[in-house]
Amino acid sequence: MRGILVAMSEKGKGMALHNKILVGLFLGAIAGLAANIIGPSAGWQSLVNGTPGWIQTPLTWMYVNLIPFVGDAFLAMIYMIVVPLLFSALILGVSELGDVAKVGRIGVRSLLLTLLFSGIAVVIAFALVNAVKPGTFISQESREVLYEQYATKGTEKQAAGEVKIPDPPAGGIIPKNPLLEATRALSGGIMPFMFFALLFGLAMCKSDTEKVAPVKQFFDGIFEISQKVIDIAMLLAPYAVFALIFQTAAGLGIEIFKTLGAYAVVVLVGLAIHMFVVYSILIKVIAKRNPLTFFRNIRSVMLTAFATSSSNATLPIALKSAEEDLGLPKEISSFVLTVGATANQNGTALFEGITLIFFCQLFGIPLDASQQFMLLMLSILAGIGTAGVPGGSWPVIGSILTTMKVPAGAIGIAFGVDRILDMSRTVLNVTGDIAIAACVAEWEGQSVEIPDEVLA
Ligand code: ASP
């Protein structure tokens, strides 16, 4: 409760942003469905045509100009930050992981656990989304409508079901000219650009620390500012969610909610399996703690993560709770949790894995085993390159999807239902960090559980 109160009070007096987004979702769905039912083929336009002239003009204006403008403006704000955000996040993530490795045994152990935790998360994601196939809960006809609706100028339009993943751009996955790839980040250049960022980060942590310190500080600043841009974009989210859901529901009717509902359930089930099965086993076997007591002791952290949807905002409470409620040594928890807030995001990796495949299913993009494997690796990497802020996943997902020939604006379909998924995956992100800290502390023989009487 303590955590959730802190989170709420920090958000100020008005309605909390996540509630506003949920209201936007609800109203957008109702209005969109109403438009679809009244005029199934022409959608909102038929509704407009049936109303008196003095109402028609503002309604038409709203449908033709305002609604697409709000949705597009929001998505553009998310996309505009892709290059600086991903570049700085990956460089810092890799160099921090490199620094952690330099810390010696503790660092190497945390690194291995990060890979283990994220790897398991992504495997669960792929198993579930391939078994359930939520993106196929839609007819071929609706798929065409989706393409019509979202294919934008500059996006090569192809018949649904016949889309091929493009050949690797320019110089392949290893870019000859990373700046060129950066300018085509939303049309196939993101992977070579990510490769460049990874190499840059690796080289940075291999360089003379003193000499590269200003560069690191510079990218720290870029990362900080990029996260603020997402924060600002999120202020538009309630209205954008309304607009995006309205457009989708008006065009496709109830069918889109079946597929979106199945997608959301697959994500939530995946998160629940990772949280209650995988974490419980790892906490029991490696950290040698009772998982139930563990979860109970960090409930304020979990509630804060749920309320804020931000690993970064939860970090101070996580640090405090790891020490005071779990008895983890400060030296271990402070660096595992700080690095983990951006680099170890199991919930995000799982979510991104499911979302990438979901969109490919939705747009009828066939994926062979090697492409699935590439997406699996990218999801692990995306967990490292995602900022710990609300909606931090979307720039990453959006830019990867455009390389798969999914129209850029299409992420709006799933963004409508994202808030609850964001709240839930953030809980896993921070819980995973604390679980790793507990495992490392146990391996180091420095884990001292605080008795219940002291905590009460
Ligand atoms: N909101 C998540 C976090 O802060 C990031 C994401 O969007 O997946 O951990």
CB of 346 closer than 6 angstroms to any ligand 1 atom:
no
How many Å lie between the centroid of ligand 1 and the Cα of residue 145?
31
Q: What domain range includes position 97?
A: 2-455
Q: Which atom of ligand 1 is nearest to the CA of 422?
A: 1
For residue 238 the two structure tokens come to 């309630």
* Cα distance between residue 315 and residue 338, in whole Å: 7
| pLDDT on residue 125 | 96
| pLDDT on residue 162 | 41
- Residue 108's pLDDT band, with cuts at 50, 70 and 90, is confident
CB of 327 closer than 6 angstroms to any ligand 1 atom:
no
CB of 393 closer than 6 angstroms to any ligand 1 atom:
yes
Report whether 438 contacts 278 (CB < 8 A): no
pLDDT in tens, 429-447: 999 999 999 999 999 886 6
CB of 383 closer than 6 angstroms to any ligand 1 atom:
no
Question: Which of these, 18, 5, 6, 2, lies nearest to 299 by C-alpha position?
Answer: 2
Local structure of residue 63 (DSSP, 8 states) = I
* Cα distance between residue 365 and residue 362, in whole Å: 8
Q: Which atom of ligand 1 is nearest to the CA of 430?
A: 9
Q: Which atom of ligand 1 is nearest to the CA of 309?
A: 1
Q: Is the pLDDT assigned to residue 227 strictly greater than 80?
A: yes
Identify which of 314, 348, 397 to mutate to test ligand 1's pocket (most ligand atoms within 8 A of the CB): 348
Strands (E), 180-241: none
Amino acid at 158: Q
**pTM summary value:** 0.79
What's the rounded mean pLDDT across residues 372-389? 85
Instruction: Give CA separation, 112 vs 26, 32, 98, 197, 342, in Å.
Output: 42, 47, 12, 21, 16
Query: How many separate domains does the chain show?
Result: 1
Mean pLDDT of the chain: 82
Identify which of 425, 427, 428, 430 to mutate to test ligand 1's pocket (most ligand atoms within 8 A of the CB): 425
* CATH number for 35: 1.10.3860
pLDDT in tens, 8-65: 444 445 777 778 888 888 898 898 888 777 754 555 555 556 666 666 666 667 777 7
Q: Which of 153-167, 181-195, 274-288 has the lowest mean pLDDT?
A: 153-167
**Cα within 13 Å of Cα(413), Cβ side:** 37
